Amino acid sequence: MSKIEAEKTVISKDVFISILVSGVVAPIVISYYFSLRYESLHFIFLTISGLSINSMILAYNTLRLNKNFLKSQLFHNGYKVVFLLTFVMLYFFIAFQVDYIVLVATAILFVFGIFAISNIYQNISISQERTSSLLNYFFSFSINMALLTALSYGERILIANELGEEVFGNYFYYSTIFLFPLTLLQYYVGFKELVYFKEGVNKKLLHSKLLKIFVGGALIVAVVILLVKIDGGTFLTIDIKTNLTLVILLSALGIIKLVYGLFSALMGAKAKYQDIYLINIFTFILLAILLPLLFLLGITVNLVVLGLIIIFAARGAFIYLKYA
């Protein structure tokens, strides 16, 4: 739904209006709800924060498509760094109060939001063309994002509810050590490769990138395990021998998600809405099979992680067979 011309991202007028409306309406509605629910949260501050965040998301994607990766990362992660530094200073020099936190956070987001709007204005060109099947793209991508969010965070709710807080705490700790580093890189792979896939797909180059990502993922796993061994329990409470199966499964899931980051970028660049509906249906069918099977066999952390491995591997294979 977008293309690059004269170093600007060109999008049709109807798409831009849809983005603008959703980017404005959603923060206002959400802010109104939370301001009613929590007296300490002010409607104006929440609205400004929401509008600023949506502006940064649009600027991030616009600059990424223009291959301005450094500046796009500034809007993606820069405000988080400023948050951290600011709140560390506040912690040491000013008494922490909710009003201060909300006010400072709003001010930081507002400044980043203004810069984001300026960059959007400089890097977006609006065409008068109409986008066919706009609603279908909207619904298919929305369902896909909801599914991926559920797959990324739903297993935590499942483990906590079915196995208890102690098991969940252990799972969260191990996944932070063995899965999080690879998941972090997954977003970077998708972030960078989407731009190049929009220009075309070279199967030989794709295979080369897949090999590099797989080897890179395996090396990261080896480095993490080495660091755990060197630490020897000084800072990290990790028992690889006792939890060997979980460590292997989390590492495998991390590598598969890293590879999936490449396939996700490929789908984002090339997919038609019919294909997105199809992969969503495919995922729902997999979930409809795996979830009852999981309860039938008896839920364990290892089985939950294995289920995620199957789903992400299957989605990746689907995208590869369709577009590679």
Distance CA 224, CA 201 (A): 33
- Separation of alpha carbons 45 and 234, rounded Å: 43
Q: Is 324 helix (H, G, I), strand (E, B) or coil?
A: coil
For residue 65, pLDDT over 80 is answered with: no
Per-residue pLDDT tens over the stretch 4-56: 555 667 777 766 777 777 778 778 887 887 778 766 668 888 889 888 888 88
Q: Which residue has the higher pLDDT, 269 or 156?
A: 156
Q: What integer pLDDT is reported at residue 94 of this predicted model?
A: 64
Q: Which two tokens stand for residue 250?
A: 């989390």
| pLDDT tens per residue, range 282-318 | 999 999 999 999 999 999 999 999 999 999 999 999 9
Torsions phi, psi for 266 (to 5 deg):
-60, -45
Structure tokens at 297: 């066999």
Residues 6+ apart with CB under 8 A from 169: none
Could you give the C-alpha distances from 61 to 9, 55, 103, 194, 207, in angstroms and in order? 10, 10, 27, 10, 26
Q: In DSSP terms, which residues pair with 126 in a beta bridge?
A: 11
